[in-house]
Amino acid sequence: NAGVTQTPKFQVLKTGQSMTLQCAQDMNHEYMSWYRQDPGMGLRLIHYSVGAGITDQGEVPNGYNVSRSTTEDFPLRLLSAAPSQTSVYFCASSYSGLTEAFFGQGTRLTVV
């Protein structure tokens, strides 16, 4: 049972490049979320999904897109990378909004 798997673990991008951060879970969870974590800022919600085909914006959605075509996968797309998007990105999933959430191991992204 792998839980929540994020790839890649590390990535360096040049300003203006695009890329997709992958997130997959094998627990059949309906709820999935993407967070970014910056020093001293805690976890900030980027986008979330409550089921296949249903996504919504969180606190800091600008510059990011998501889609949820299957229950298992919830990729995060950076459209045109900016240095301000340098951060650690976490994907999480949960059975419902009021149950334990499981986090992936994170993707450390640097934009130069």
Contact between 103 and other proteins (CB under 8 A)?
A: yes
Among 17, 19, 22, 43, binds other proteins (CB under 8 A): 43
Of 1-40, binders to other proteins (CB under 8 A) are 31, 33, 35, 40
Work out which of 23, 24, 36, 48 binds other proteins, going by CB under 8 A. 48
> Cα dist. 49→60, 86, 89, 109 in Å?
15, 23, 16, 22
Among 35, 78, 73, 34, residue whose Cα is nearest residue 53: 73
Q: Is cis: bond before 83, omega within 30 of 0?
A: no
Q: Assess 99 for contact with other proteins (CB under 8 A).
A: yes
Residue corresponding to tokens 């949820």 = 68
For other proteins, the binding residues (CB under 8 A) are 31, 33, 35, 40-45, 48-50, 56, 58-59, 90, 92, 94, 96-106
